[in-house]
Structure 1
Amino acid sequence: MSTTTAGGRRILFRNVRVFDGLSGHATDGSDVIISGSKISAVSNSPVGDSPGVETTEIDGRGMFLMPGMSDAHVHLMGNANNYLDFVMGPTGLLFANTISEAKRMLHRGFTSVRDMGGDTAPVKTVIDRGDFEGPRIFPSQAMISQTSGHGDFAFVYETPYEFGGGPSRTDSIGFTRTADGVERVLTAVREQLRKGASQIKLTIGGGAASMYDPLYTLQFTPDEMRAAVQAAEDYGTYVATHVYTVPGITRAIEAGVRSIEHGHLADEATVALIGEKGIWLSMQPFAEDDHHYPDPDRAGKNRQICNGTADVYAWAQKHGVQTAFGTDLLLEPESAARQSIMAARLGEFYSNSDALMMLTSGNAALFEMAGQRNPYGGARLGVVDAGAWADVLLYDGDPLADLSVIADPETNLKVIVKDGSIIKNTL
């Protein structure tokens, strides 16, 4: 388990190269002090001792210290379990696997994540309590889908709710929530807020992993989407939408959605509109081998999505779009560690400094859009600065010069501190 700094103890990093998450460059020869759960000072000159305060001193040897990384689109439960686990496995095992994956994710250097579908509020509770290791979690709870939509995992022979049927397996465990019509959508949103959602996730277009919906489909009517947005705004938060296509993105913008998840099939005019409206684009640097679809139809949809990645990233930079980084790995636990590889892949589309800022302070700005639903609003995330949450990483290597350093955390990530607790220290 971790070593805490509670009760007047502190951590002192000496002689580190500090990337603060904001400036785009690193400062050599710095000392960083952590007191309790927050960073208390960042100094360009050596810090003196503090008699009477128990201090863990770490000689950084000039290594690279940066804020903890974040992932704006994870499915912790989906990362940890495969399709058969969901439809046939014991519920207790689903949650046990999720807790185990949360620990692995933290040890890859991801100290904060926005979960975009799954019953992760209980997992967040036991992590925040200190019972288990894992990242800070911004839960969306169940992703809300229409019947025959991206989040409908019911078998084709099952009767929908509206015709008197019961919940599908994924609905019953809180991974999804199928809702049709304004009244049911309102109830579904309010249900997720009651369960602890920081923000709301709607699936409003087709996807590669889903069973019934081609990519071109439009899901949820404008009235249904506006109802979800209103219910979320009434609780001080926002709606994020799974969507790839121009018609779907346009409908989402018109309904008041604040975060477009994916968007890989957008055209330049639509990306420019996202920027003009000040909406977030939560993208993933997908490559075809990130997911494995033996079914030719799903493999074809995945290929089409991946082929749009480079263009959308280029247009987002051209039009100044607020862009977040996410992974969206799902139903393939053996691929979960690709999270680190995908983070490093950002360097194919952005400068290394811009990629690191997106992974830290950039994503944090999106997370903070949850407003009063932000469970970690007492300090800043994603920066190394006095008063910020004490979530920091120490790498043997310079990601500003070579972003592939973050692709191999087992070798290169020497120290992890989250919430003022030392999670890993191999120095």
Structure 2
Amino acid sequence: MCLSCAEAVAAGHAPINPCLCGAPETQAAMRRLEADLDRRRLLGGMAAIVGMFAGFGLAPGELRAQTAGRPTVLTNLRFFDGRTLSMQTGRDIVIEGGRITALPATGTGPADADVIDCGGRAVTPGLIDCHWHSTLVAVSQIAAVTQDIAWVHLMAGREAGATLLRGFTTVRDTGGPAFGLKQAIDQGAVTGPRIFPSGAMLSQTSGHGDFRLLNAVPRMPGDPADYTERTGVAAIADGVDEVLRRTREQLMKGASQIKIMAGGGVASPYDPLDTTQYTLDEMRAAVQAAADWGTYVCAHVYTPTGIQRCIEAGVKSIEHGQLADTATIRAMAAAGAWWSIQPFLADEDANQYSDPRSQAKQQQVAEGTVRAFQEGRAEGVNMAFGTDVLFNPTGAATQGRQLAKLTRFMSPLEALRMATGAAGDLLALSGERAPYPGPLGVITEGALADLLVWDGDPETSLDFIGTPDTSLRLVMKGGRIFKDALA
């Protein structure tokens, strides 16, 4: 009731309420008014956010979407389906509702459709990078651990748009605070690829994800978390209980898989490459917590001892692994584990390090890369493509060129399959935690309509994938066109 009503009641009079402020009708009207104000604030905030992103070139560009109620048909093309090691002809690709719905004989598809003439060019599934760091690729290492995290996210948003226009329509983010970026992309506020996020990388103290300076050691019980932990880059977890807690936190935030650090790394200065990180029980804790949510663990590791411990613990995906010996490679094949491997060749496209210790470790990894590809293929290990471009703003643009380098070890279509159909199979290990229901990396009925049109012949070379500015003619993700240079 209003103030006058309260005074009347206090004086002993009947509670007459001429303003009806407490009446159900009045309260309902107030709720409607508040809801309208909330909607206006939300729309205003969204406009401000999109405007802010537009200032950095991050807002979505002009899109050509399907006409409502009409399918889109790609015709006059040769296509690689992501699995069969040959280019196929004589078919059109029909897209409806963001999915591929049919592959009819050329000219026999629906008559009432938006038709895109590909001019006889090659069509492939959208490319998949299975080892990408969406928020850490476009900034230097010192910037990542010292700059305002909002700036880091803005740089990540800008790089996401560039990633999509290189033809990578999906990435598996193997560590970093990518949840917000994924949400912005999925909601259409920012242009970028589909993201399968791992969230913070789980690391033991002194492990590959422990980015603290030496003057921050020891950390006492009352000390705050390190900056990289607070911002979601990494999570230091020692012991089974702590590993369970940190794993569950990432799952709570929306992780589609969990990333642990199981051995030394190149970029980190304090953990030698040969070290084995996490005990078997700690690894099993992460694996069990992930399995309880229907998903899996992937592990950064290079050495035979570390890889074999991962396999024993139930880790499904080995990240890197270039120092594996023959017995370990055979163990990976026997376990049905995935090898998410990168062409680390210490060449002009490699991540750059000024620390001599990191340079030496990088060279050691490069020396094992050739044998890893050769033996991995010979032993029949499941292999998927990734780049792991890290803290390297200029190196991000080499993403497609890294894929083309795989033709040093296999035929062009075999290499392309590693970044399409095989990569999609690896992503499918996320089960119900996969954020995008439907097959990825393939051109088949029911698959998500992520498609690329290229100038180039994938049967003879993949060099054209390294020059997407000139060779990539059309980029489609989920049936929406983000680049159209066919004319």
TM-score (structure 2 length as normaliser) = 0.85
TM alignment of 1:123-142, pairs within 5 A: 123-142=181-200
Deviation at 1:50, TM superposition (A): 3.1
On the 8 A contact 2:269/2:357 being kept in 1, the answer is no
Name which structure has the greater RCO, CA cutoff 8 Å, separation 6+.
Answer: 1
Structure 2 counterpart of 1:417, which letter? M
Q: Hey, what does 1:243 align to over in structure 2? A: 301
Alignment CA distance shift 1:15-1:146 (3 Å): same
Superposed CA offset, 1:397-424 (max 9, x none): 1122111111111110000100000010
Q: Hey, what does 2:310 align to over in structure 1? A: 252
Deviation at 1:365, TM superposition (A): 0.3
Deviation at 1:47, TM superposition (A): 3.3
Query: Any gaps of 5 or more consecutive residues in structure 1?
Result: none
TM alignment of 1:210-229, pairs within 5 A: 210-229=268-287
Does residue 373 (structure 1) correspond to residue 445 (structure 2)? The answer is: no
SS at match of 1:191: helix
- Picking from 443, 468, 477, the partner of 1:409 is 468
TM alignment of 1:3-402, pairs within 5 A: 3-5=64-66, 7-48=68-109, 50-51=111-112, 55-161=113-219, 163-289=221-347, 290-377=350-437, 379-402=438-461
Alignment CA distance shift 1:272-1:48 (3 Å): closer
CA distance in 1, matches of 2:250, 2:162: 26
Deviation at 1:247, TM superposition (A): 0.7
CA distance in 2, matches of 1:169, 1:49: 56
CA distance in 2, matches of 1:188, 1:230: 13
Structure 2 counterpart of 1:277, which letter? A
On the 8 A contact 2:256/2:435 being kept in 1, the answer is yes
On the 8 A contact 2:262/2:277 being kept in 1, the answer is yes
Deviation at 1:48, TM superposition (A): 5.0
SS at match of 1:288: coil
Asked which structure has the greater CA Rg, the reply is 2
CA distance in 1, matches of 2:462, 2:81: 16
Greater percentage in strand:
1
CA distance in 1, matches of 2:471, 2:207: 41
On the 8 A contact 1:102/1:133 being kept in 2, the answer is yes
SS at match of 1:114: strand
Deviation at 1:100, TM superposition (A): 0.9
SS at match of 1:80: coil
Deviation at 1:175, TM superposition (A): 0.8
On the 8 A contact 2:126/2:169 being kept in 1, the answer is yes
Q: How many residues align?
A: 423
Structure 2 counterpart of 1:251, which letter? R
Superposed CA offset, 1:298-357 (max 9, x none): 100000001101101111111110011100110111111111110111111111111111
On the 8 A contact 1:86/1:169 being kept in 2, the answer is no
Superposed CA offset, 1:82-132 (max 9, x none): 122222211111111111111111100001110000111111111111221
CA distance in 1, matches of 2:479, 2:371: 40
Deviation at 1:24, TM superposition (A): 1.0
CA distance in 1, matches of 2:171, 2:448: 15
Identity %: 45
Deviation at 1:156, TM superposition (A): 0.9
CA distance in 1, matches of 2:219, 2:263: 20
On the 8 A contact 2:92/2:109 being kept in 1, the answer is no
TM-score (structure 1 length as normaliser) = 0.96
CA distance in 2, matches of 1:400, 1:161: 55
SS at match of 2:482: strand
Structure 2 counterpart of 1:413, which letter? L
Deviation at 1:49, TM superposition (A): 5.2
On the 8 A contact 1:20/1:383 being kept in 2, the answer is yes
Give the RMSD, CA atoms, in angstroms.
Answer: 1.3
SS at match of 2:448: coil
Deviation at 1:163, TM superposition (A): 4.1
Structure 1 counterpart of 2:295, which letter? T
Superposed CA offset, 1:62-81 (max 9, x none): 10001001000001111122
Deviation at 1:10, TM superposition (A): 2.9
On the 8 A contact 1:12/1:57 being kept in 2, the answer is yes
Query: Any gaps of 5 or more consecutive residues in structure 2?
Result: 1-60
Bigger mean CA deviation after superposition, 194-203 or 218-227? 218-227
CA distance in 1, matches of 2:109, 2:237: 60
